[in-house]
Amino acid sequence: MLEEIKEKVKEKFGFESEPYDTNILLVHGERNSLRELLKFLKEQGFKYPHTVSVVDYTPKGKGFQVNYLLENLELKKLVMVRVNLPENDLTVPSVHDIFPPLQPHEREAWEMFGVEFIGNPRLEVMLLPQWAEGWFPLRKSYDFKKHRKPSKEKK
Amino acid sequence: MGNSIATAGYTFVVEESKEVSGEDLGLLQEKLLQLNWGVQHPASGPMRLKVWVDGDEVVKVDPDIGYVLRLLEKLVEYRTWINAIVNVERACFIDNFGTMTGYSIAAEKIAGVKVPKKADYIRTILCEGGRIVSHLIGLGSFVGVLGVHTPMQWALIAREKFLDAFEVYSGQRIATASIVPGGVRYEPTGKFIEKMVTAVDFLENEFIPRYGEVFIDNPTLKVRSVGVGKVSKERAIELGLAGPALRASGVSSDIRKDYPYAAYGELDFKVITKEEGDAYARYLVIWEELIESAKIIRQAIEGLPEGDYRTKFPVKVPAGEAYVNVEWARGCFGFHLISNGGTGPYRLKMRAPSFANLWAIPEMMKNVKLADVPVIFASLYMCHGDIDR
């Protein structure tokens, strides 16, 4: 079943895919046609979205990586769609209207990494306190020492 | 007496920016009220639901979370492969075995380590023990929000027996840190097995018949929960519900069955599903899973093989990544683990089932009565440590 999806994606979008795990297919996508790709996968039965997982590869000079994980609940197969973003342009189209459950996941990814999901209606802080907006604590460049609260003042 | 609420000094928020108190309270009858359900509500836990009501009808709900954020995903990056389990298990302390198992399987996949069969069986026993402990609290607190606190006490008595077994096994009752990449940390002694059997015996012979007689087919409970928060099969997938809430809507999704891990592939159990999709169905799913879990523990203890319980796990793990799903007590818990060849994880993303369930609430609570808010909330069976991570 995943072989079929692999060929269809290659034919329709020209994206390469490879087996990621026994039941997971990894699709190397691009942000320009990300929405069409996810819409296509939804039509193919991958209706249940799991999460949006962002990885910060900036120390290795590879920018950011956004992974979408979708499951086909009937055939019990998963697809991971991967999009690479350059460090100086952290924008990716939002897919909240295709997969409504991903909206809060995108929101979390935005507040933790600063990846902007264009079109997401609610990019506001959720888990972090209001005053920590824009700190992006899960980035590798986040400096704990800089944000540490000063301990008691020295007398 | 008259307007006692005004003299008591309560204030209500009419719009987000406008507060009303004292004599102006009469205005409230014509406006939408914003109520803060939580942080101090007995059923809410450390979170807040902003509930807009029109009279008794809920118009809009917006969860406000982040009260127990510990940023576990970041903390893990500062640990070694083995040490990271103490952060992973704290995603939710109630069922800590499931999260540790998922993380360990992911780490083993990257390192290419094969776990001995005995370790798989002990993981299964512990995971099911954790599931029972968690489901007991889930059952107790569901009836608890309806105002009856006896079942919680009964559930805690049964839970104690399992905590005793965990204590004999690992020395800790709650945060056990007992499952590591490469196997499990301790040899399962005869005493541990004995305690586990005692706990399962108590559950099956004492708790289940007694609880089942009073609190399952209970007419008062049914009045409050049948037909409340109803979600159809298609709607459940669309909302992205997870775990027991998804299965109560008729979607047969259980990672233990679909993508077997640990020893689940060799054991015989069934996936509980219900068609109704209301709060009562979700309660029944938790109840029947509890009975099923006890059977799994018995099978796993019977089939416990001889041999090593742990293999060597390398200090440095080659670069690579893995995505692993496990069926945790509250649903499908996903781990996206990445190694860059160092002594610890480069990045760990945890996909929490409670987070998914929480964000289905605004859709599920439209046009329900205010009194149904706690019922729907408790039936979704969420854990706050898991939502915030």
Concatenated DSSP letters of B155-183: HHHHHHHHHHHHHHHHS-SS----EETTE
Give per-residue pLDDT as tens, B193-252. Answer: 999 999 999 999 999 999 998 888 888 888 888 888 888 888 899 888 988 999 999 888
pLDDT at A56 over 60: yes
Residue B3's pLDDT is: 45
Higher pLDDT, B348 or B21: B348
Q: How far is A43 from chain B (nearest CA, A)?
A: 13
Q: Is residue A97 part of a domain?
A: yes
CATH number reported for the structural domain that contains residue A65 in this entry: 3.30.460.80
Pairing of strands A77-85, A24-29: parallel
Which H or E run contains A113? helix A102-113
- A150 pLDDT band, cuts 50/70/90, is low
Residue B159's pLDDT is: 92
Tokens of B285: 């799913």
Higher pLDDT, B59 or B167: B167
Would you say A42 and A99 are in contact if contact means Cβ atoms under 8 Å apart? yes
User: Rounded to an integer, what distance in angstroms lies between the CA atom of residue B286 and that of residue B272?
Assistant: 9
Q: Is residue A150 part of a domain?
A: no
Q: Is residue A76 part of a domain?
A: yes
Residue A155's pLDDT is: 54
Q: Is residue A80 part of a domain?
A: yes
3-state secondary structure of A139: coil
Pairing of strands B183-184, B179-180: antiparallel
Q: Specify the amino acid at residue A47.
A: K
Residue B175's pLDDT is: 87
Which has the closest alpha carbon to B79: B316, B336, B343?
Answer: B343
Which has the closest alpha carbon to B300: B265, B331, B263, B329?
Answer: B263
Give per-residue pLDDT as tens, A100-118. Answer: 999 999 999 999 998 999 8
Among A54, A65, A73, which would you mutate to test the B interface (most chain B Cβ atoms within 10 Å of its Cβ)? A73
Which H or E run contains A92? strand A91-93
pLDDT at B157 over 90: yes
Residue B203's pLDDT is: 92
Concatenated DSSP letters of B239-295: HT--THHHHTTT----HHHHS--TTGGGS-------SS-SHHHHHHHHHHHHHHHHH
Q: Among partner residues A49, A51, A137, which is closest to B71 by beta-carbon distance?
A: A137
Q: Which chain B residues are Cβ-neighbours of A67 within 8 angstroms?
A: 336
Q: Which chain B residues are Cβ-neighbours of A101 within 8 angstroms?
A: 238-240, 356, 359-360
pLDDT at B1 over 60: no
Q: What is the CATH number of domain B72-388?
A: 1.10.645.10
Instruction: Compute the average pLDDT of residues B280-308.
Output: 91
- ipTM here: 0.88
Q: Is residue A71 part of a domain?
A: yes
Q: Is residue A119 part of a domain?
A: yes
- Indicate the average pLDDT of chain B: 86
Instruction: Compute the average pLDDT of residues B22-26.
Output: 60
- B22 pLDDT band, cuts 50/70/90, is low
Residue B30's pLDDT is: 59
CA angle B133, B135, B136 (to 5 degrees): 65
pLDDT at B366 over 70: yes
Give CA B304 to chain center in angstroms: 27
Residue B39's pLDDT is: 78
Q: Is residue A154 part of a domain?
A: no
pLDDT at B16 over 60: no
Radius of gyration of chain B (CA): 22
pLDDT at B6 over 50: no
Instruction: Compute the average pLDDT of residues B28-33.
Output: 66
Domain total for chain A? 1
Give per-residue pLDDT as tens, B49-59. Answer: 888 888 788 88
Segments forming the whole domain that contains residue A112: 2-144
Q: Which chain B residues are Cβ-neighbours of A126 within 8 angstroms?
A: 65-66
Among A51, A64, A66, A67, which would you mutate to test the B interface (most chain B Cβ atoms within 10 Å of its Cβ)? A51
User: Rounded to an integer, what distance in angstroms lies between the CA atom of residue B179 and that of residue B341?
Assistant: 22
Residue A110's pLDDT is: 92
- A13 pLDDT band, cuts 50/70/90, is confident
Q: How far is A84 from chain B (nearest CA, A)?
A: 16
Which has the closest alpha carbon to A94: A125, A111, A116?
Answer: A116
- B370 pLDDT band, cuts 50/70/90, is confident
Percentage helix, strand, coil, to 5, in chain B?
50, 15, 35
Q: Which conformational region is residue B148 in: left (phi greater than 0), alpha (psi within -120 to 50 degrees), or beta?
A: beta
Residue B40's pLDDT is: 74
Residue A147, judged by CB atoms within 10 A of its CB (0-12, 13-18, 19+), counts as: exposed
User: Rounded to an integer, what distance in angstroms lies between the CA atom of residue B208 and that of residue A57?
Assistant: 51
- B160-196 in b/e burial notation, b at 16+ Cβ within 10 A? ebbbbbbebbbeeeeebbbbbbbbbbbebeeebbebb
Note whether A21 contacts B322, CB cutoff 8 Å.
yes
Q: How far is B77 from chain A (nearest CA, A)?
A: 10
Give per-residue pLDDT as tens, B309-318. Answer: 888 888 989 9
Residue A93's pLDDT is: 92
Concatenated DSSP letters of B32-82: PEEEEE-SS-TTT-S-EEEEEEETTEEEEEEEE--TT---HHHHGGGS-TT
- B110 pLDDT band, cuts 50/70/90, is very high
Q: How far is A35 from chain B (nearest CA, A)?
A: 17
3-state secondary structure of A55: strand
Q: Is residue A53 part of a domain?
A: yes
- A59 pLDDT band, cuts 50/70/90, is confident
Radius of gyration of chain A (CA): 18
**Chain A residues near any Cβ of chain B (below 8 Å):** 20-24, 47-51, 53-56, 60, 67, 69, 73, 76, 78, 80, 99-105, 112, 125-129, 137-138, 142
Give per-residue pLDDT as tens, A69-109. Answer: 999 988 889 999 999 999 888 899 999 889 999 999 999 99
